Amino acid sequence: MTASASRKTRQKDAVWQALHAQDDFVSAQDLHKVLNDSGCRIGLATVYRRLNALHLSGNLDCIEHGGLRLYRICTAQRHHHHHLVCESCGRTIEITPPDDGWLQSVASAHGFTVSSHTLEVYGLCGDCQATQTDE
Amino acid sequence: MTASASRKTRQKDAVWQALHAQDDFVSAQDLHKVLNDSGCRIGLATVYRRLNALHLSGNLDCIEHGGLRLYRICTAQRHHHHHLVCESCGRTIEITPPDDGWLQSVASAHGFTVSSHTLEVYGLCGDCQATQTDE
DNA sequence: CTGGATGCAAACGCTTTGCAAATAG
DNA sequence: CTATTTGCAAAGCGTTTGCATCCAG
């Protein structure tokens, strides 16, 4: 077993690059469009495969919203960060809870081990609060 | 405009009843199965329509996980509760964060208003930790 | 009666998968 | 050369929708 090599391909690189160019969560389809727009020929399925792989290997954060999956490079390998999502414009801001401790306590109180957790806060950002006047 | 009446039907009642009988989040399909099992003939589409309506009218909480939508009667108009979800057996336990305050602070620090938030904690429950021995 | 509600099945949108062709090592 | 990766298109999944029928008021 010669350690089934993970081959380095133009597409893998492209996906990784494109992810870095994003500063918000993107869907697979978004990323696929971005890639093709920038002249990189790549199949949608490949984008999905890459995104899944990267998520599994812990390099991508993933949130689900509105029935679709959004990915983002996991900048914080060491610290969970969560998000403040504007329900109107979709803007996302990373937030850090001051206290992860209670979570562990509560979990173990129920005999649970914690492998991951997600916290998504929905609301309106400043701009959209202003725009809320027109319904 | 004679206030387009919302008719009271056997199915509407059934869905509402069934929701009350659940003590965990359920998917539309789950609920549909439960209903048909209990002898109530109802279409899947109707369950979906009812669930959406109830969610819109603010009577149902909704979380998304694994690409599907789970609903639960919104018992806590007054207090958010979150969940401890076992990744193996799917068991769900309600947990209550000791401190919702920081959330509001962080949000307003970014100019956000908070309309809702979800916190889901994934891990393994005691039973499943024991069963983890077989891979 | 009348129009909202239902049931069915087809349509949908996002994601995954089968398989043959392409290509990295 | 060989096996991983890709691309395409078809399949899969949960959900929504069109339309004829049904039934509450």
Question: A64 and A87: one domain?
Answer: no
Residue whose entry in the numeric block shows the structure tokens 């495969």: A49
Helix ranges restricted to H, B5-123: 10-21, 28-37, 44-56, 101-109
Residue B24 predicted with pLDDT over 60? yes
Share of chain A above pLDDT 70, in %: 80
pTM exceeds 0.85, yes or no? no
| Count of domains for chain A | 2
pLDDT in tens, B90-130: 677 778 766 667 778 888 888 888 877 777 777 778 777 76
If one compares A38 and A4, the residue with the highest pLDDT of the two is A38
Separation between Cα atoms, residue A64 and residue B118, nearest integer Å: 11
Question: Residue A13: which nucleotide is closest by CA–C1'?
Answer: D5
Do A84 and A123 touch, CB atoms closer than 8 A? Answer: yes
Separation between Cα atoms, residue A47 and residue B13, nearest integer Å: 44
Question: A49 and A1: one domain?
Answer: yes
**Chain A residues close to B119, C-beta within 8 Å:** 117-119
Question: Phi, psi (5° rounding) for residue A17?
Answer: -60, -50
Question: B51 and B6: one domain?
Answer: yes
If one compares B19 and B98, the residue with the highest pLDDT of the two is B19
Question: B105 and B130: one domain?
Answer: yes
Q: Of B77, B112, B127, at which residue does a domain stop?
A: B77
Question: B64 and B31: one domain?
Answer: yes
- Domain with residue B116: its CATH number is 3.30.1490.190
Q: Of A77, A99, A127, at which residue does a domain stop?
A: A77
Residue B71 predicted with pLDDT over 80? yes
If one compares B56 and A124, the residue with the highest pLDDT of the two is B56
Strand partners, B108: none
Mean pLDDT across chain A, nearest whole number? 81
Helix ranges restricted to H, chain A: 10-21, 28-37, 44-56, 101-109, 126-131
Question: B14 and B73: one domain?
Answer: yes
Chain A residue with minimum CA distance to B107: A84
Res. A78 pLDDT band, cuts 50 70 90: very low
From residues 54-93 of A, which are strand D contacts by CB within 7 A? Answer: 67
Res. A90 pLDDT band, cuts 50 70 90: low
Element (H, E) at B118: strand B113-124
Question: B73 and B99: one domain?
Answer: no
Three-class DSSP category at B132: coil
Question: B51 and B95: one domain?
Answer: no
Question: A91 and A67: one domain?
Answer: no
Average pLDDT over residues A78-101: 69
Residue whose entry in the numeric block shows the structure tokens 């918000």: A24
Average pLDDT over residues B33-37: 95
Question: A59 and A85: one domain?
Answer: no
Question: B92 and B122: one domain?
Answer: yes
Residue A2 predicted with pLDDT over 60? no
Question: A47 and A88: one domain?
Answer: no
Range of the domain at A90: 80-135
Six-digit token string for A84: 């403040």
Res. A53 pLDDT band, cuts 50 70 90: very high
- Domain with residue B11: its CATH number is 1.10.10.10
Distance in Å from D25's C1' to B1's CA comes to: 16
**Chain B residues close to A103, C-beta within 8 Å:** 97, 121
Average pLDDT over residues A105-126: 80
Is the CB of A7 within 7 Å of strand D?
A: yes
Share of chain B above pLDDT 90, in %: 35
Pick the residue of B48, B84, B87, B91 with the most A CBs within 10 A to test the interface with A by mutation: B84
Question: Following DSSP, what letter does each residue of A69-89 receive, concatenated?
Answer: EEEEE---SSS--EEEEETTT
Q: Of A77, A109, A127, at which residue does a domain stop?
A: A77
